[in-house]
Structure 1
Amino acid sequence: MSPSRSRYTGSYPYACSMVYDLRNYTDETMWGPFLDQQATVDWEKMEAVMIVLQYHLHGHNNYVMQPPWLGASVDSFKSVLLPKIGTASLPSNPDDPYDVTGSWIRVVCFLDYQELSHYNFGHDDILPEEPRGSLYKPQSIRLIMMKLQVTKIEEADSGDGQVAPVVYFEGTSRSLHIPQNANANSNIRGSVRQTSEGEIRWTTYSIYNGEERWKSEGIQVGGPRSSGSVMGHWFDRDMDPHGPVGPTMFWKVSNNINDLPGDELVVRMGAWTADYESEGEWEENGEDDEGGLVIYT
């Protein structure tokens, strides 16, 4: 997909620069949108992720039924009832404060690996503290349906600084537009926990043939049980300093888990998600007067 739209053209190349500069992926920040190993949120990185993904989501309205940051507040999530075909809806786990079990839509963007390599290693005259130039290159997008179930709940680690438990989950991750491609589908596992700041941190692992390949770190905008997205970075499981890396986000659509194929499922979801459109409105250019991203609640 070539970046040809006028929306975000002012901030988009600089957001791409932050997202794809490999110097922003370090052990100190756990390769996520963080400032340190305590998962202190780096909101500048989060904004860059939002700008890049929203830019590429424009034009995929058949799949994305609501602005993914609509309802960025605690307990704002409203489950839609998916068609009663396939797996029955699982009851919510009363011990899970994050409401993990259910169906989620995920978006992943990535830059061609040669472009990523050239951008990061093709210029020897960049000082370590100097930002790289703006980046305006085509990117690919993947739209994914995740079906997650809670598998274990434990007390918080002593380092979390919070009393909320750690919730572990497993599930499946299936492409919405190339479901026949085995490389686009995987099993998934991960955890959700509260940080010392009180933010909700999600960690996921994508598993192919029993082996972990990709990992992601993100923060749920709006807090627990919000309809806002979990946004952050995906990267190689072994944290390869040469990449690949990219932005990702996912948001819950239903407490129900359904076995319908992705395309048919999303089409049927349209009738149930219409209520969201009347409760919030996305500003036409997606930015405020100072170039920041506007979030409606």
Structure 2
Amino acid sequence: MILEPETQRLGLTTLPPEILHNVLCFVRPRDLARVSRTNKHLNNFVQNNGPLCREIYLRLLDDPSESAASADLDWQHELQDFVRLTRVCDKAWREKAPELSFVHDVVVRVLKRSSCTDRTSVKRTRNAVTFSPSRNTALLAQIFADESTRREFLCQSFIWQRARGKGKYFDRPPKPEHQMSAKLHCLYGVPQLDTAMIGKGSAEVTPTDQTYEDAEQHGIFAYALAKVYDLRDFHPHATWGPFLADDSGRVDWERLEAIMIVIKHGISRMGLEEEHLLFDICWNRPFDGAWKNSYVPMPFIRPAEDDLDKEDPFGVSGTYLRVICFLDYGDFFNFNFHNGVVEHTGELVTNDMPRPVVSVGEAARLMMMKIHVTKIEKLEGRDEDKGPDAVVVHFAGFTELLHGFGSQNLSSTIKGKVRFTPDGEVRWTTISVFAGQERWSSEGIQIGGPKSAKCIVGNWFDVNHDPTGPVGPSAFWKISDRDPEVNDDKFSTSDVLPWFSPSGNGPVPDEVEAEEIILDDHSISGSETDD
């Protein structure tokens, strides 16, 4: 055997740039920094190498070229941020709390840049699976799989701090970190109901803290319920909806978080997740569908030729499932008007204090809603080139009760409108009409943005804003599309077909290969905290 002379052996530093690029594009993202520290030649090659970082990024994540958020990307910065996100969210990373703002910004950015792997061929894997496949959401779901990560980043809003004995007084205005954590929780999409998420034994809760004993007894649901049904939050400055009470029209993510917890509790009590895949898909799949245009139409419905549907930037027309919850009015009235003393201390409740939690039963109702666009209104004083920001989409339709009142027929007509909020979220307003009289109204925000597969989450109230209520939480989500050949005043087979999908764990969408979304020590995560 003849050995080559030492001088003829080739190393990475001797390779032509195009070959070196093809070698390094298969390096783990977290190892790229280590490669650059090996020697000066590799450092010069890796630093500011946008094409290399782009190729590594696209091996793991969605191609953001289809999203409006993709212009002028700094690929090296994006890759570094994603790698840091996986490290910060790793179980071994000890100081997570200071990283909340960073985690929030990166997660929101990654979701905005989500896209299906092939939009031309995307289809539903099952009739009830309404979202399109995304590598971004699959990776984020695995990054947040650890309980400690979810507790530190998703469970830090005011209701969680109150459950830990730290929330005696409201924060006015709300703390930014509370809003960021609540928004992450909403985008995650699976409300955390486990008492363990409150954090027994943490430094924030002392063994003698009576509040934790209450939290262990009632769970986070009781604190969410106390926020959702507090009439003091329903006033003109928040337009009676899930908005900040400063006349800005911006979303109050802490309120949305509390509403999602209460709705999820109601769905679980009715056993709907075990009976219907539609509920499992929408309420038990982390991050799935929580991005713009993630909704996938039914495959056998022809696109509508109606000009209004073509011009609608929100994808309003279609069939929706809706869940509303409410308290017995006696319990509701007592909670708001006869609940003015803090238990254990006897302290009077003031306007800057949350009401004491109470053990009351909550009822839930399930409805199906069919709506269609009736008018698209261009907002005055705005340029047409501003696109969907410059329009309000009006709709009308009807609802039918599916669960909750036995054989009673409580159908109603419904109307409303959809538009953007000042901070770019999608706002839905609905008005329910019984026997020709407007009775109930609701305000909600579509989680994930326009045409997302996630819920429109908000609250309902008396259309005349009765100061004594009642009020309650509401959520609805699209399950099917409008068939232009079917009467808009009745349900068709295509409207209800997803309802009959069997329960169980739906598949990972076909277009995402399993090996592409696994995060382990051989991919981009790990327990190290250097670099």
TM over 0.5: yes
Paired with 2:231 and 2:332, the residues of 1 have a C-alpha distance of 9
Deviation of the 1:48 alpha carbon: 0.1
Partner of 2:272: 60
Select the structure that is richer in helix: 2
The aligned length equals 266
1:48 aligns with one of 230, 254, 258: 258
Partner of 1:24: 233
Moved more, 127-136 or 42-51: 127-136
TM-score by length of 1: 0.80
Q: How is 1:1-297 mapped onto 2 (pairs within 5 angstroms)? A: 7=194, 10-35=219-244, 36-58=246-268, 59-61=271-273, 62-63=275-276, 64-68=279-283, 70-80=288-298, 90-91=304-305, 93-124=309-340, 125-156=348-379, 158=381, 163-177=389-403, 178=405, 180-182=407-409, 184-256=410-482, 259-260=491-492, 265=497, 267-268=499-500, 270=501, 278-279=508-509
Do 2:323 and 2:367's aligned partners in 1 also have CA atoms closer than 8 Å? yes
Judged with a 3 Å threshold, the aligned counterparts in structure 2 of structure 1 residues 129 and 77 are, in CA distance, closer, same or farther, namely same
Over the matched positions of the two proteins, sequence identity in percent amounts to 38
Question: Deviation per CA, 1:243-293, whole angstroms, max 9, x where unpaired?
Answer: 1000001010111356259x975643x16x9896535xxxxxxxxxxxxxx
Q: Unaligned stretches of 5+ in structure 1?
A: 1-5, 280-297
Paired with 1:127 and 1:251, the residues of 2 have a C-alpha distance of 37
Judged with a 3 Å threshold, the aligned counterparts in structure 2 of structure 1 residues 135 and 79 are, in CA distance, closer, same or farther, namely farther
Paired with 2:412 and 2:472, the residues of 1 have a C-alpha distance of 18
| Secondary structure in structure 2 of the residue aligned to 1:163 | helix
Deviation of the 1:164 alpha carbon: 3.5
Do 1:155 and 1:163's aligned partners in 2 also have CA atoms closer than 8 Å? no
Do 2:226 and 2:357's aligned partners in 1 also have CA atoms closer than 8 Å? yes
TM-score by length of 2: 0.46
| Secondary structure in structure 2 of the residue aligned to 1:252 | strand
Do 1:191 and 1:202's aligned partners in 2 also have CA atoms closer than 8 Å? yes
Do 2:389 and 2:419's aligned partners in 1 also have CA atoms closer than 8 Å? no
Moved more, 25-34 or 66-75: 66-75
Deviation of the 1:91 alpha carbon: 4.7
Question: Deviation per CA, 1:148-184, whole angstroms, max 9, x where unpaired?
Answer: 000000113559x9734100000001111248423x3
> Structure with the greater relative contact order (CA < 8 A, sep ≥ 6): 1 or 2?
1
What code does the residue aligned with 1:259 have?
A: F
Do 1:111 and 1:140's aligned partners in 2 also have CA atoms closer than 8 Å? yes
Partner of 1:291: none
Question: Deviation per CA, 1:69-128, whole angstroms, max 9, x where unpaired?
Answer: 73110000012358x9xxx98557111000000001111000110000001100343211
Do 1:218 and 1:232's aligned partners in 2 also have CA atoms closer than 8 Å? yes
Question: Deviation per CA, 1:53-77, whole angstroms, max 9, x where unpaired?
Answer: 0111112122435224731100000
Paired with 2:263 and 2:372, the residues of 1 have a C-alpha distance of 26
Paired with 1:275 and 1:127, the residues of 2 have a C-alpha distance of 46
Judged with a 3 Å threshold, the aligned counterparts in structure 2 of structure 1 residues 232 and 176 are, in CA distance, closer, same or farther, namely same
Deviation of the 1:7 alpha carbon: 4.3
Do 1:156 and 1:193's aligned partners in 2 also have CA atoms closer than 8 Å? no
Paired with 1:157 and 1:50, the residues of 2 have a C-alpha distance of 34
Judged with a 3 Å threshold, the aligned counterparts in structure 2 of structure 1 residues 157 and 43 are, in CA distance, closer, same or farther, namely farther
Paired with 2:481 and 2:499, the residues of 1 have a C-alpha distance of 18
Bigger CA radius of gyration: 2
| Secondary structure in structure 2 of the residue aligned to 1:119 | helix
RMSD, matched Cα: 2.9
Paired with 1:204 and 1:163, the residues of 2 have a C-alpha distance of 19
